[in-house]
């Protein structure tokens, strides 16, 4: 029996004012080994701040299904977040990840 699940991909572009906003905890500001802006953004996503950062795209679906961050992949200029009710294989043809859909386009 096939189980349907809502899947969502989010690309957070790094090197922007949003990404450089400083999503770190206040007690880490004076730490000399402080995380980079990209690492702070990734940590904030893992710590559940995604709804606070992007409330307009993090609305829960109409059903009672919850979306969880299953994977965060770091690329050169963005962070790709995979959300869903459970981990699944991504449909590369419909992905917003440029590394996925561009390889599919070159085969067409």
The pLDDT of residue 102:
65
CA distance 72 to 99: 15
CA distance 48 to 57: 14
The pLDDT of residue 84:
86
* pLDDT at 15 > cutoff 80: yes
The pLDDT of residue 95:
83
> What does the pLDDT look like over 45-102, one tens digit per residue?
999 898 888 888 876 656 667 888 999 999 989 999 998 888 888 777 778 888 776 6
CA distance 28 to 57: 28
The pLDDT of residue 82:
92
> What does the pLDDT look like over 17-43, one tens digit per residue?
888 877 655 555 556 567 888 899 999
pLDDT: which is higher, 89 or 108: 89
């Amino acid at each position: 029996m096939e189980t349907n699940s809502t899947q969502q991909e989010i690309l957070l572009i790094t090197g922007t004012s949003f990404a450089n906003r400083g999503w770190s905890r206040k007690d880490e500001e004076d730490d000399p080994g402080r995380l980079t802006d990209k690492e702070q953004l990734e940590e904030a996503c893992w710590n559940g701040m995604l709804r606070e950062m992007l409330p307009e795209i993090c609305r829960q679906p109409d059903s009672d299904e919850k979306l969880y961050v299953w994977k965060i992949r770091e690329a050169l200029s963005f962070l790709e977040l995979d959300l869903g009710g459970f981990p699944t294989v991504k449909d590369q043809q419909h992905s917003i990840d440029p590394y996925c859909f561009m390889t599919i386009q070159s085969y067409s």
